[in-house]
Structures are given as structure tokens and as C-alpha cells.
A = this chain, B = another copy of it.
Amino acid sequence: MARVIDRMLMWSKPMGSSVAQEEIDYIVSTIGSVAGDVAAGLHEPVFAGNEKFYLSDCIDSGFVSSVGEYVTRFESALARFTGSPHVIALTNGTTALHLALIALGVRPGHEVLVPALSFVATANAVAHAGAVPHFVDVSEDTWGLDAHELRKYLRAVAVLRDGNLINRDTERVISVIVPMHTLGHPVDMAGVTEVAEEFGLKVMEDAAESLGSQIGDVHTGLLGDLGVFSFNGNKTITTGGGGAIVTGNAELADRIKHLSTTARLPHPFEFDHDEIGYNYRMPNINAALGVAQMEQLPGILANQKRLYGRYEQAFRDDDRFTIKGERAGTSSNFWLQALLLGSESGIERNDVIERALARNLAVRPLWKPLNTVAAHSSSPSDATPVAQDLYERVVCLPSSSSLADKS
């Protein structure tokens, strides 16, 4: 790992800073005092349960592909844990977002409201559905969609016509809002839902990062019309590659399952398909891994929360720094721990990141705001000062749950 990081650092340009190297060293040492003095990954999975046993059993069963009992077991485990009446396991978070958008009625040429601060998959999935992401800003409080700004913005740029919300500039239909729970911290779903109701929009919750996070006693993903999880290797639990859609709507769940399996019509031997479908169902071998991971989820979440406590304590006494914590009325899964550098501190986040990487502490910034990412920079966008500010001031810290007890 050290060699990879060394090689990567050669490509990056150091940025000037007015802060002494000693200050940067102090910050990185403080991170290291929590994450440990040897190499620490950003978010490494924990395989301490039945992973090998279930994989072996899956091989013995002969069913490793998209038909198999582990898929059903994984979906049931997710349903129990989240309280979702319906769960559909899919190949990854991006394909889950894609199918969820289609199921909610997103059509080619529509616009979908997406927070500027998210992993690019959120916007890509909109494009995969033939639609256009329309970026809006996030709030300083939640780091997710700012419902208040969104309402003001829609009142200014959009108009209701024949039951559709129309973007006055582009004349395109705006059909769905995609709130995303940034780094696992729940967004203001009450606010987003009110805006959705005012403008007649559907809500697809991007809960890719927030398995285990709740608002009150409702699991994230279940407060919108559909919710999406990811089980990529860097997530709280992993299936190698994997994702899922959760919903209380049986009809939507059936449609999604149908679309995910080539939209084949039930018949004992004929191959007929009533619409253009996909090959997005989770394979059984990946679900076997997922069943083992689900058994360990409570312990992993407890560790992620404990790790937060240790970072929070380490930085508590210096008011230039904030470790992102829980908002009142919500619980976070603390998927990625995040250090917010005070705007008056004069500390450049790249100085911290480069020094930490050189010490083999895997840190990173937030994502470049999507309205400034080349692939999506021609899409419509509100001004996004908060997304830009957080992008410039946040350092994501080593967050593997195994670090909870390290020193």
C-alpha cells in the first residue's frame, strides 16, 4: 500500500499553505493517534463471521447465479433489519439507482434533482435512465439536500403545467428528487418530503452510504417512495459488488424485480419479454457473502460509532476542528468519519491529505461537486456555495470499523 500511495503522490501537485508544517503534523498525528500508527485504509471490510462457510455452502448447492436461496435470505435479513416490507437485491448501488428511477417514472428527457455533493453514481444513474441531473445545493447542517433552498429555487425556476413540473429554462419535466444521506448522516427528509409534495415530485432516497442510519425510528431508505443501498467493498457491509432497493410498495417492488431479470414473462419454457429489461439481479454467490455480513452488522455499527467517539474526543479541545456528528432526532451509521476544518483556520485540506497519505493514513476529500465534474458540467444547476465550501474544508478519515479499538 505504501508504494501505491507514493506513486500516486508523485502525480499530485502540492498546494501552498500559510500554516506551518508543524500544524499539519499535529493534525495528522492526531488522526494517527486514533487510526493507529501503521497503515490504515479508508474503509476496509470486516470478514469475521460465516463468510467462508456460506460461500462454501453456496458452491455445494450448485446455485451461484441469479437463482438461489442466499438471495432470498439476504433480502429477508435486510427486510428485518431495515423494517422494509420489500427488498430487491441487485448487482450494485448504481444499477439499483437506475432501476429505482425508471420505476418512479423517470423518462428520457426528464430532469432529476440531485445534490451537487454526492458520488458521481447518483448523477450517472440519472443519465443511464436517459434523463438529465439538475444539481442543487446541500445544507451546512446535514451535508445533504437543503430543502429550504430547494423550495426557493423551484419557485424561481420551475412552473406547474398540465400536472408536470417544468423547468422554465430547459422546458424539461422535473420528475424526481434524490436526497442522499451524505457519509451516512441522515438528510432532512421531512423538509424534502414537504417540497416534493408542494411540487408533485417523487422521492428516491439514495441511502447507498447509510445502512444502519435512522430518522427517529425509521430506517433511511424508507422515508421516500423508494430507497437504495450499496454493498460495494468500501461500504458498512459488502457483497463484493451489490445493491438493493427497499420499498413499502408491492407493485413497485414487483416491477423492479421484473425489470432486473430481463422482463421475462412467466412461462415454463418460452422466452418472451414485455419490455426492455436488464440483467441487474444480485448473483447468489454475492448474496452468500451478504448474509454473513448482515449477521455482523450490529457489531460493525457499534464499532463505527465508537470510532467516531474517539475522533471526536481527539479533536474536541481545538475549536478549529469539528468531527461530523449526529443531528438531533437522527442516528448515523458513521460510515465515513469526517473532519471539518474551520474556515478561519487557514489550513488547506490538501496539506492535511497529502501529509496523511504520506504516513499511510488513507484519507480523502469529499467528492468534487457534481456540477463541476466534467461528465456533468453541462447539466442545469443552482448555485452550490455550500457544496463547494464543504468540498474545500472536509477531510474524510480512516473509518474501518476494525479501527474502533486501535491506538
Contacts and interface: CB of A to CB of B under 8 A. Distances in A.
A276 interface: yes
A274 B375 CA distance: 5
A271 B119 contact: yes
B273 A240 contact: no
Interface string A247-266: 00000000000000011111
A275 to B, nearest CB: 5
Nearest to A363: B269
Interface stretch (A44-52, A75-83, A170-178, A337-345): A44-52
A269 B368 CA distance: 10
Interface string A120-134: 110010011010000
Contacts of A52: 55-56, 59
With most chain B CB atoms within 10 A of its CB, the pick from A127, A364, A373 is: A373
Interface stretch (A86-94, A211-219, A304-312): A86-94
A182 interface: no
Contact of A275 (B8, B264, B276, B375): B375
B241 A283 contact: yes
Contacts of A368: 270-272
Given A120-B277, A286-B286, A91 B270 contact: no
A268 B232 contact: no
A163 interface: no
A289 B285 contact: yes
A161 interface: no
A233 B287 CA distance: 14
Interface string A216-235: 00000000000000001110
A267 interface: yes
Q: Is the interface of A mostly helix, strand, loop or mixed?
A: loop
Nearest to A56: B52
B283 A240 contact: yes
A45 B127 CA distance: 36
Contacts of A240: 64-65, 283-286
Interface in A1-53: 5, 8-9, 11-12, 44-45, 47, 51-52
Interface string A345-359: 000000001000100
A308 B170 CA distance: 60
A96 to B, nearest CB: 10
Interface string A365-401: 1011000011110000000000000000000000000
A124 B262 contact: yes
Interface string A294-309: 0000000000000000
A193 interface: no
A279 interface: yes
A275 B375 CA distance: 4
A273 B238 contact: no
A234 B283 CA distance: 12
A375 B261 CA distance: 13
Contacts of A11: 266-268
A323 B368 CA distance: 59
Contacts of A285: 55, 240, 285-286, 289
A190 interface: no
A120 B268 contact: no
B241 A365 contact: no
B65 A232 contact: yes
A56 B285 CA distance: 13
16 contacts: A9-B268, A45-B62, A55-B59, A64-B238, A66-B232, A66-B233, A241-B279, A263-B375, A265-B374, A268-B357, A269-B363, A271-B367, A271-B373, A275-B375, A277-B375, A283-B286
Given A66-B232, A274-B374, 4 more contacts: A8-B268, A55-B55, A120-B277, A241-B281
